[in-house]
Amino acid sequence: MDVTGSAAPLNPSECQRVGQVLARVGDKWTVMVISELGDGSQRFNELRRNVPGVSQRMLTLTLKNLERDGLVTRTVTPSVPPRVDYALTDLGRSMLVPVRALGQWAQAHIPQMDAARERYDRIALEGSILDR
Amino acid sequence: MDVTGSAAPLNPSECQRVGQVLARVGDKWTVMVISELGDGSQRFNELRRNVPGVSQRMLTLTLKNLERDGLVTRTVTPSVPPRVDYALTDLGRSMLVPVRALGQWAQAHIPQMDAARERYDRIALEGSILDR
């Protein structure tokens, strides 16, 4: 299969890895954190305030994975208390473009997806009533 | 926060929903199935062969979610045995563009992410040895 639309089709192992990257990139918190850092570096508590609904644990885990993948830097300033800033790397910044394109698509098409979902659930419910 | 880069910032509830859509879209199997159907409709068993590593259960679940969201149609032909074809809707087709852009980014940057990850894990390992 060809995930990318490029000339050379992917072999199964490449396809798998692209899928893994997409699974990570598509993660809700990852997308929100990358978007948020697109406007400049932030401290942990700022991020926590700016990413609605994220728990301390999930934000810590998301930032650790992003740092591990080379998408985000973590800078500790040894003040009292220590100050920790997170910022996008060049690699992370390059991801903003496709992530925002997908975000734009999602925002534009959420109403259609919601309507489809309601229709599907209504038909499924009617089906289960008729089945009784 | 502004996930999309558009003029109007999203309110927290919209942001959450865009995140949910992205989490679904970014799912490994979803991306692979949408990509695969980008070249035309396929039967269940064709898809199963063409999406390496997917189980029957995961493919069934992925297709059901895509149908529920209005991204994929399921057409049953009452032959013996019945024939079931899956195809992208117009909505599903419109998603190919941003999904492929993200796939292209992922494919181009996997080596950099892998290298960053190895470096991170090596440093973490050395740290844990020094900590002993």
> Average pLDDT in the A81-94 region?
94
pLDDT at A2 over 50: no
CATH architecture of A12-131: Orthogonal Bundle (1.10)
pLDDT at A119 over 90: yes
Q: What's the token pair of residue B66?
A: 């895509």
- Residues in A closer than 8 angstroms to B28, CB to CB, are 19-20, 22-23
pLDDT at A24 over 50: yes
Ordered mean pLDDT values, 10 residues apiece, chain B (132 residues) = 46 60 70 86 94 90 93 94 94 86 81 91 82 58
pLDDT value of position B11: 55
A38, A57, B87 from A77: Cα distances, Å: 21, 22, 54
pLDDT value of position B68: 94
Mutate to test the interface with B, among A107, A112, A114 (most CBs of B within 10 A): A107
- Residues in A closer than 8 angstroms to B47, CB to CB, are none
Show me where the domains of chain A are located: 12-131
Strands A42-43 and B83-88, by their bridges, are unpaired
Q: What's the token pair of residue B120?
A: 């991170």
In this prediction the pTM is 0.69
